[in-house]
Amino acid sequence: MEAMYLLEMRQIDKQFPGVHALDHVNFRVRAGEIHALMGENGAGKSTLMKILTGLYRKDTGEIILDGQQVSFNSPLEAQRAGISTIYQEINLIPYLSIAENIHLGREPMNRTGIDWKQVNQRAERILREMGVEADVTQPLCSYGTAVQQMVAIARAISVQAKLIVMDEPTSSLDEKEVEILFRQMRKLREKGIAIIFISHRLDEVFEICDTVTILKDGKLVSESPAAELSKLELVSRMIGRDATDVLRRKNGVYQGTGGVPVLEAHGITDKEKLRGVSLRIRQGEIVGLAGLLGAGRTELAKVIFGDNPDYTGTLAVNGQEVRWKAPRDAIAKGFAYCSEDRKAEGIFSHMSVRENMTMAILPRIARRGLVNVGRQKDIVDRYIKSLSIKTPGQEQLIRNLSGGNQQKVLLARWLCMEPRLIILDEPTRGIDIGAKAEIEALIQDIAGQGISVLLISSELEELVRNCHRVIVIRDGKNIGELESDMLSEGNIMRTIAQDILQEGGACI
Amino acid sequence: MKKKNLFYAFCKKHGVVFALLALILAAALLFPEFASYGNVTNILNQNSMIGIISLGMTFVILTGGIDLSVGSLAALSSVLAAVLSPKGSLAIMILVPLAVCTAMGLLSGLIIAKLQIAPFIATLGMMMAARGIALVMTDGGVSVSVDTGVAETFRLFARSYLLRVPAPVWLFVLLLVTGLYIARRTRSGRYVYAVGGNEEAARMMGLQPEKIKIAVYTVNGLLAGLAGLILASRLGAGQPVTCDGWEMTAIAATAIGGTLLSGGRGGLGGTAIGVFIIGVISNMINLQGSLSSWWQSIITGLLLLFVVMLQSHARANGTGSTEIAG
Amino acid sequence: TDSENTAVPDADVGVDSGESEVLTVAFSQCGNQNNWKVVQTNDMKEKIEARGYQYIYTDAQDDTAKQMSDIEDIISQKPDYLIVSPRESEGLTPVLKSAMDAGIPVILVDRGINGEAGVDYTTLNSADLIWEGQTCAQYMKEQFGDERCNVVELTGTPGATSTIDRNKGFTEEIANYDNIKIIASQVGNFNRAESQKAMENLIQAYGDEIDAVFAHNDDNAIGALQAIKAAGLKPGEDIKIYSMDGQKDALQAIIDGDMELSVLCQPRFGDSVLAIIDQLEAGEEVPAFVKNEGKLYTIENAEECLDEAY
Amino acid sequence: MMDSIAAKNGHTCIDWGQNIRKYGTIYAFLLLVMFNILFTRNFASMGTLWNLTIQVLPTMLTSLGMVLVISSGGIDISVGSVMAISAVTSGLVLTGKTPLLGTDTGMAVLAALVVALVLGLFNGVLVACFKIQPIIVTLILYIAGRGIAQLMNNGGTIVFYGNTFTEIGLYRVGGLVPVQLFVSILFVWIIAFLLKKTTFGYYVQGIGENGKAARLSGIRTAQVLISVYVISALLAGMAGLFECSRASCADPNAIGQLAEMDAIAAVAIGGTSMNGGKARIMGTIFGALIIQLISIMVNMNNIPFAYSRIFKAAIIILAVYLQREKRR
Ligand SMILES: Nc1ncnc2c1ncn2[C@@H]1O[C@H](COP(=O)(O)OP(=O)(O)OP(=O)(O)O)[C@@H](O)[C@H]1O
Ligand SMILES: Nc1ncnc2c1ncn2[C@@H]1O[C@H](COP(=O)(O)OP(=O)(O)OP(=O)(O)O)[C@@H](O)[C@H]1O
Ligand SMILES: [Mg+2]
Ligand SMILES: [Mg+2]
């Protein structure tokens, strides 16, 4: 009987000051299954996993692994017991090489010490299998989030584990990588390894998972085989009400006036990735940027936002040529940029939600450098409500919020600026389905108010659903542009594939 | 490691290497005595103590910490050696100070890792405490000479030569090579980098940052004790009030050598160069010989400024990173 | 024989000036952390350069280890004479011995080292710091007679020889007198501001019990004086101050009746050192110890001596 | 059952822990005061209070500057040298050694502060624009600055008796309350105001917390960092002025020795993270008070120097321990 479950967590309870994060939750996983853990932002998924891996101490409850009661005091102990983890926030060492990050803690040794040759070769092999092309001897921090995420995955699945915890591994991956990941996951399942999979992308869950456990507000809602659940039902259980309205899909056609484009970028070339990419956004238009991993989308966003002054090509705002020296110049012209790397480039982790949300708007709510705290609080209040950010209050430290809620605070930081153009780099990364719908609605809404949006997303579906026009880039060059009827996931994929084919042909 | 990586590492260190070469060139042109055997041996010999301390300091700083207690520990070690010398046993004179300094390093490490007190404060405390103990042992700061019974043999510790190179220099080179090996080829060495790079991540990856930090401060205590022994042997006496400010010199050497004070990046090679940059500057000032004390400080400051500017320039060109200082 | 040895390297180093007659004199100063030292350094430079000698100067920044390195660097430049103001009496003996072995006469100023004159160094030129401490005690006894005399001691930099010797001379001397005793001894660091603070706190703690201050130098004394005044006490009546150095400010305070005594400790060594060098050059024997005579500055002579103070 | 009781206890423990963490420095200070009232003779009197307020001022001022610097993610070990340079500058003016400036007290103060400002700019520009590690930049000024101070009067102490300038340092409002008290309050208020109420305060802490995110939020990081170092230097200059005004002399060798250590210790005792971020003013104030109170204790109880070091070390570590941040 007992042996049926590889892992059983019974009556797990966890309190944080002001938050009852887990309320006597039962959670169990069979060997050789892929088990989805679902729930809204702040439902307690990550907390449950952190308790499992010994990062947090539980208040009450017991954990039974392989028929034995266990209680881990550190991730090391959990690792030794065969639990391997990918945490929600990428937790790797920025200055160490990719290869080292994959092997840290279990480096192959030879007589004279660490066998670097083997470290690098193995890392290269693992990553190649996963379709990632990167120089494994380079420091991790010289790569973007997607590569980092793949490295974290590579690290987790290259150990001998019984159970692998994956807390939102796909949030910064695009379709191709997700497919690779799933292939790996299936292989692992065949070997009898259990996987706990957390994701906010429903399609993924239905594609890969066997069982689904749903949490809401720290309480267990249900556990059932994936096959017995419909999408609608799953979402309804997660949000605790009928979800028909959440699953709406719509794609508007650009209604705005033509006129001078709000932003026109021409022939942008930088020192690393960009090779003459061009782009035009009109007022109130939502333009999507699609491309494979490392296509240069983030780099382009940074040039547009003035974070990389080292480029050639021209930028024009409302027809006037500009040259930014720093992001604040772009901000002054009404630009906003919500970064894809929320930990490294977004949050001020020891500061409160209030301080985090208003960091960019301060000059506007201050007179002669004096912050008008009343107005500040009003704004924060308004956005906590309108984005339904789950926090005990404005003064909560942002690091104590769940990942998705942190993302919402960052979004609010820019939305409250009422920008002319907002660049959203993976804005729904780690955001639950309900909130995602809200954010998508919000994007439509702000576009309706005449704000232009540049949307970068790895979820093609999201682009198709929201954008008026999608620009496809590859290797820092435009390879296509899709609009209205032509705009579909299939067409985007086809554009990319064609380009790869052409190039491949040319090469041979 | 791949060739490319080594080259990359070399490029990043370029600035310091060039700065040292520039200083040496300038010194050799300005002062004919500079390149003499005697002077070169002096520089190597004099800086081997700071060098040894800086090696430990580099590991400490790589974990994102700092250790202010090294100067006091070295002084304490020299005092212990001298105070114990009447017992007539070289083994006691060497082992006890090393053991005491190691223990005090361990204590710093425990305070930092277990009580989670900022390294700056924990080691500031240790710095004051060690100095206090040295003063208490010597009746308020009276220096103690090494007992004549063992003085001659103990003197050899710092004053014997191998291939015309003094023993402390060999010791420094040996420790440097060992350190480089540990840093590059052993797990513990890599974990030091990992903890400094991102302690939280290191913990999540199953490392034990506490253990690594404790180890690093313990080793640093040991090395400070060793430097103190060399000093005692060179001076033939234990000195409770000496080595003031050595911690700053060691930190400066480490930072000049390109190790980030926030941890995670840098290495011993750069530190060794940093030590000799400071050493050559001090030697140049002595060879110049007519600068007043105040001009000595000012010129030292200006030369350091020159070195870091050169280095920061090289770094900016090397990686083009937009990271913010601090 | 010494001068023969030194003639060779001198020609060797020889800058473009053809004269190998010019002597090179090196001075290794241990630190410049207070006024007295600064005067010493300035005087040495002035007097030696006035002779037209080549002058090499190093500053050990109050660190014996650095002073040893400095001396090594000096030896490698092969000067004709080496003047050393040692940071401490222990520790420099080996390196000074090697200077002597290299044929460079070593003239110690200000403070001796643990070693033998003629072997480890040539001669020592200094004041007697123990005597200075004793003198303060004696003068105190003279003024207080058999009345109660509770002394507050403001010491110099911990570990400095001047601190240790002056304390030694004083405490040994007062052991002979029943009425004089030290009720508190705190660090003044040869620093006015620090002494001022320490004295403020001591007055707060001991109040009327304090009858006298034994300050390890004039800076300490003047710091204490300011604290006494600020506390509304009368220096000279409520609390008497005794110190050493012979600084102008101290003499002025004595004239004003704020202080009782400052024992001269001459910081200017230039002339006496040059006299020693002349003797050595002439091939004469020099005694192992050349004493700088101390002198008491009191209300009797402060006025007339004001100009000779520094 | 047992578990749930433990959980409840744990909960109250957390609250207590938080409380101590928040006010730990104050508790540590009060503990020290209590201890002294019981064991130190003549401690419980206004005289001690006035001594404390007078003597703490230089440490208070430098710590206030330091808390800004540290919360911006840097460190400033040059404060002692800056103190010395500005003290000597004022001394030179007062004694008429700078013929162009006259011997006016106001001019002396102004000149000293201008010099401090320039030194702060030096630090700030190197840190912000040349991206050199703060500890190295300020170490350079720490070394060279002491030399500059000595050079300015050829190493000698400048003495100036009986003028307005020295009277300021000794002035007692109503013949009783030292002027230092008001100066402390004024600057504490100014820095607290800057940190809590102005955009500048948000920016400083934001930069210390995450420089990259701060830049992307449109903050002029270089400008803010430069201001931080300038303010620190100005406060150090001010500290130097008060120190030398009270002692009626400017000693280039002695003024500000080890001031940087006291200031950093005060900030750390006060609970500000050495890695930058949230600045804790209240903690810093009490940190400075603790540091000075220890010196007073040592003096008043006639604790020998050697033991005083060990004693001071223990108290500092204890105070920091009381309000360290727990891991989970
Ligand atoms: N260290 C902490 N201190 C205080 N509160 C915390 C802490 N960690 C998490 N919480 C709170 O616990 C709740 C659960 O957070 P958790 O991170 O487990 O959510 P989640 O289900 O993973 O959400 P998401 O999908 O957004 O990642 C949230 O309300 C969060 O604010
Ligand atoms: N061959 C590669 N594969 C994947 N990433 C690479 C590759 N080469 C470089 N990179 C790094 O990946 C990062 C991603 O590039 P960039 O952010 O410009 O593109 P992106 O399309 O936004 O990618 P992402 O999906 O990671 O956001 C860059 O920092 C780049 O240095
Ligand atoms: Mg989560
Ligand atoms: Mg991207």
Domain coordinates of chain B in residue numbers? 43-243
Q: Which chains touch D (3 or more CB pairs under 8 A)?
A: A, B, C
Query: In this predicted structure, what is the pLDDT of residue D1?
Result: 37
Residue D161 DSSP SS3: coil
Which tens digit of pLDDT belongs to each residue from C38-96? 889 989 999 999 999 999 999 998 888 889 999 999 998 889 999 999 988 888 888 99
For the CA atoms of B297, B298, B302, B304, what is the dihedral angle to 10 degrees? 10
Interval D134-146 mean pLDDT: 93
CB < 8 Å to A78, chain B: 206
List alpha helices for A321-467, DSSP H: 327-332, 342-345, 353-357, 373-386, 403-415, 433-448, 460-466
Which tens digit of pLDDT belongs to each residue from A326-335? 999 999 999 9
Q: Is A35 on the interface with D (CB under 8 A)?
A: no
Q: Read off the pLDDT band of D237 (50, 70, 90).
A: very high
Burial of C180 (0-12, 13-18, 19+ CB in 10 A): buried
Please name the residue of chain D whose CA is at the shortest distance from the CA of residue C192: D247
Which residues of chain A from 335 to 354 reach within 8 Å of chain D, CB to CB? Answer: 337, 339, 344-351
- The DSSP symbol for A139 reads B
Structure tokens, D56: 């703490």
Closest by Cβ to B186, choosing from A95, A113, A137: A113
Does residue D30 form part of some domain? no
| Residues surrounding ion ligand 3 at CB below 5 Å | A 46, 88, 403
Q: How far apart are CA B134 and CA B143, in angstroms?
A: 10
Q: Is residue B325 pLDDT above 50, yes or no?
A: no
**CATH 3.40.50.300 describes domain A5-239:** yes
Which tens digit of pLDDT belongs to each residue from A279-320? 999 988 899 998 877 788 899 999 999 998 888 999 999 889
End-to-end CA distance of chain C: 39
- The residue ranges of DSSP E strands in B111-199, in sequence order, are 144-145, 161-162, 165-166
Helix axes B246-256, B70-84, angle to 10 degrees: 130
Contacts of A102 (CB under 8 A, 6+ apart): A122, A123, A126, A127, A136, A151, A154, A155, A158
Q: Is residue B9 pLDDT above 70, yes or no?
A: no
Burial of B253-282, coded b for 16+ CB within 10 Å and e otherwise, reads bbbbbbbbbbbbbbbbbbbbbbbbbbbbbb
Structure tokens, D144: 């060279």
Nearest CA distance, D57 vs chain B (angstrom): 22
Q: Is residue B317 pLDDT above 70, yes or no?
A: no
What does each C-alpha distance from A160 to A82, A85, A155, B167, B253 come to in angstroms? 7, 12, 11, 49, 43
Q: Which amino acid is present at C244?
A: M
Higher pLDDT residue, C310 or D295?
D295
Helices and strands in chain C: count of H runs, count of E runs: 11, 12
Please name the residue of chain B whose CA is at the shortest distance from the CA of residue D215: B324
Query: In this predicted structure, what is the pLDDT of residue D99?
Result: 79
Q: How far apart are CA B34 and CA B42, in angstroms?
A: 10
Mean confidence (pLDDT) of chain B: 86
Query: In this predicted structure, what is the pLDDT of residue C303?
Result: 87
Interval B159-169 mean pLDDT: 87
Whether A173 contacts A181, CB under 8 Å: yes
Ligand 1 atom at minimal distance to the Cα of residue A48: 18
Does residue D35 form part of some domain? no
**Does the C-beta of A401 come closer than 6 Å to ligand 1?**
yes
Query: In this predicted structure, what is the pLDDT of residue B316?
Result: 47
Annotate C163-203 with DSSP letters as a single string.
Answer: HHHHHHHHHHHHTT-SSEEEEEEEE-TT-HHHHHHHHHHHH
Q: Is residue A250 pLDDT above 70, yes or no?
A: no
SS3 sequence of B59-88: HHHHCCCCCCCHHHHHHHHHHHHHHHHHHC
Mean confidence (pLDDT) of chain A: 87
Which tens digit of pLDDT belongs to each residue from B100-112? 999 999 999 999 9
Q: Is residue D166 pLDDT above 80, yes or no?
A: yes
Contacts of C177 (CB under 8 A, 6+ apart): C137, C141, C149
Tokens 């480096």, located at residue? A107
Closest by Cβ to A114, choosing from B187, B200, B265: B187
Whether B74 contacts B243, CB under 8 Å: yes
Q: Read off the pLDDT band of B318 (50, 70, 90).
A: very low
Query: In this predicted structure, what is the pLDDT of residue A508?
Result: 33
Residue A338 DSSP SS3: strand
Query: In this predicted structure, what is the pLDDT of residue D126?
Result: 95
Query: In this predicted structure, what is the pLDDT of residue C7?
Result: 38
Given its phi and psi angles, is residue A506 left (phi above 0), alpha (psi -120 to 50 degrees) or beta? alpha
List the residue whose alpha carbon is closest to atom 30 of ligand 2: A143
Q: How far apart are CA C89 and CA C75, in angstroms?
A: 20
Q: Is D41 on the interface with C (CB under 8 A)?
A: yes
What is the layout of strands, in order, in the sheet containing A211-216? A83-86, A163-167, A194-198, A34-39, A211-216, A219-225
CB < 8 Å to C87, chain B: 242
User: How many C-beta neighbours within 10 Å does residue D30 have?
Assistant: 12
CB < 8 Å to C92, chain B: 235
Q: Read off the pLDDT band of A387 (50, 70, 90).
A: confident
Residue B323 DSSP SS3: coil
| Residues surrounding ion ligand 4 at CB below 5 Å | A 297-298, 340
Lowest mean pLDDT among A58-67, A345-354, D96-105: D96-105
Does residue D181 form part of some domain? yes
Q: How far apart are CA B219 and CA B198, in angstroms?
A: 21
User: How many C-beta neighbours within 10 Å does residue C159 have?
Assistant: 27
The residue segments making up the domain with residue D149 are 45-327
**Does the C-beta of A134 come closer than 6 Å to ligand 2?**
yes
- The DSSP symbol for D324 reads P
Superfamily of the domain at A263-507:
P-loop containing nucleotide triphosphate hydrolases (3.40.50.300)
Closest by Cβ to B287, choosing from C77, C90, C160: C77
Which of A98, A153, A297 gets mutated to test ligand 2 (max ligand atoms within 8 A of its CB)? Answer: A297
Lowest mean pLDDT among A80-89, A244-253, B65-74, B220-229: A244-253
Query: In this predicted structure, what is the pLDDT of residue C162?
Result: 86
Does residue D215 form part of some domain? yes
Query: Cα C31–C33–C36 angle (5° rounding)?
Result: 95
Total domains present in chain D: 1
Please name the residue of chain B whose CA is at the shortest distance from the CA of residue A77: B206
Q: Is residue A356 pLDDT above 50, yes or no?
A: yes
Whether A411 contacts A338, CB under 8 Å: yes
Q: Is residue A157 pLDDT above 90, yes or no?
A: no
Q: Is D309 on the interface with B (CB under 8 A)?
A: yes
Lowest mean pLDDT among A3-7, A59-63, C194-198, D74-78: A3-7
Q: How far apart are CA B310 and CA A360, in angstroms?
A: 35
Interval A188-202 mean pLDDT: 90
Nearest CA distance, A134 vs chain B (angstrom): 14
Interval D216-235 mean pLDDT: 96
Which tens digit of pLDDT belongs to each residue from C256-299? 999 999 999 989 999 999 999 999 999 888 999 998 888 899 99
Helices and strands in chain A: count of H runs, count of E runs: 17, 24
List the residue whose alpha carbon is closest to atom 5 of ligand 1: A400
Interval D22-49 mean pLDDT: 88
User: How many C-beta neighbours within 10 Å does residue A446 have?
Assistant: 18
**What is the β-pairing status of strands B161-162 and B165-166?**
antiparallel
List the residue whose alpha carbon is closest to atom 10 of ligand 1: A400
- The DSSP symbol for D44 reads S
Q: How far apart are CA B122 and CA B240, in angstroms?
A: 21
Q: Is residue C18 pLDDT above 50, yes or no?
A: no
Residue B160: φ, ψ to 5°: -95, 160
Q: Give the DSSP H/E element, type plus range, for residue A301.
A: helix A297-304
Interval D281-292 mean pLDDT: 93
Residue D73 DSSP SS3: coil
Mean confidence (pLDDT) of chain D: 88
Nearest CA-CA partner of B258 in B23, B48, B69, B14:
B14
Query: In this predicted structure, what is the pLDDT of residue B321?
Result: 31
Residue C262 DSSP SS3: strand
Closest by Cβ to A96, choosing from B2, B197, B206: B197
Q: Is residue B258 pLDDT above 80, yes or no?
A: yes
SS3 content of chain B, % helix, strand, coil (to 5): 80, 0, 20
CB < 8 Å to D199, chain A: 362-363, 366, 369-371
Interval A109-117 mean pLDDT: 90
Query: In this predicted structure, what is the pLDDT of residue A383?
Result: 92
Chains A and C touch (3+ CB pairs under 8 A): no
List the residue whose alpha carbon is closest to atom 19 of ligand 1: A42
Does residue D65 form part of some domain? yes
Does residue D58 form part of some domain? yes
Query: In this predicted structure, what is the pLDDT of residue C307?
Result: 85
Q: Give the DSSP H/E element, type plus range, for residue B277.
A: helix B268-288
CB-based contact C89 B244, cutoff 8 Å? no
Name beta bridge partners: B145: B237
Query: In this predicted structure, what is the pLDDT of residue B8?
Result: 52
What does each C-alpha distance from C111 to A332, C39, C126, C290 come to in angstroms? 69, 16, 6, 11
Q: Is C63 on the interface with B (CB under 8 A)?
A: yes
Does residue D4 form part of some domain? no
Query: In this predicted structure, what is the pLDDT of residue A344?
Result: 86
CATH classification at residue D208: 1.10.3470
Interval C225-252 mean pLDDT: 92
Nearest CA-CA partner of B116 in B213, B243, B247:
B213
End-to-end CA distance of chain A: 60
Whether B248 contacts B66, CB under 8 Å: no
Q: Which chains touch B (3 or more CB pairs under 8 A)?
A: A, C, D
Q: How far apart are CA D308 and CA B131, in angstroms?
A: 10
**What is the β-pairing status of strands C81-84 and C54-59?**
unpaired
Given its phi and psi angles, is residue C150 left (phi above 0), alpha (psi -120 to 50 degrees) or beta? beta
Nearest CA-CA partner of B284 in B20, B21, B30, B18:
B30
Q: How far apart are CA A490 and CA A480, in angstroms?
A: 13
Q: Give the DSSP H/E element, type plus range, for residue A454.
A: strand A452-456
Q: Is residue D77 pLDDT above 80, yes or no?
A: yes
Q: Is D153 on the interface with C (CB under 8 A)?
A: no
Domain coordinates of chain A in residue numbers? 5-239, 263-507
Q: Is D83 on the interface with B (CB under 8 A)?
A: no
Whether D98 contacts D76, CB under 8 Å: no
Higher pLDDT residue, D188 or A76?
D188
Interval D180-201 mean pLDDT: 94
Nearest CA distance, B139 vs chain D (angstrom): 9
Name beta bridge partners: C56: C26
Contacts of D97 (CB under 8 A, 6+ apart): D153, D158
**Does the C-beta of A306 come closer than 6 Å to ligand 2?**
no
Ligand with minimal distance to A432 CA: 1
CB-based contact B235 C64, cutoff 8 Å? yes
Tell which of C84, C87, C88, C130 to mutate to test the B interface (max B CBs under 10 Å): C88
- The separation between CA B306 and the C-alpha centre of its own chain, rounded to angstroms, equals 22
CA–centroid distance, residue C44 to ligand 3 (Å): 73
Does residue D243 form part of some domain? yes
CA–centroid distance, residue A425 to ligand 4 (Å): 7
List the residue whose alpha carbon is closest to atom 31 of ligand 2: A143
Higher pLDDT residue, A352 or A249?
A352
Please name the residue of chain B whose CA is at the shortest distance from the CA of residue C33: B293
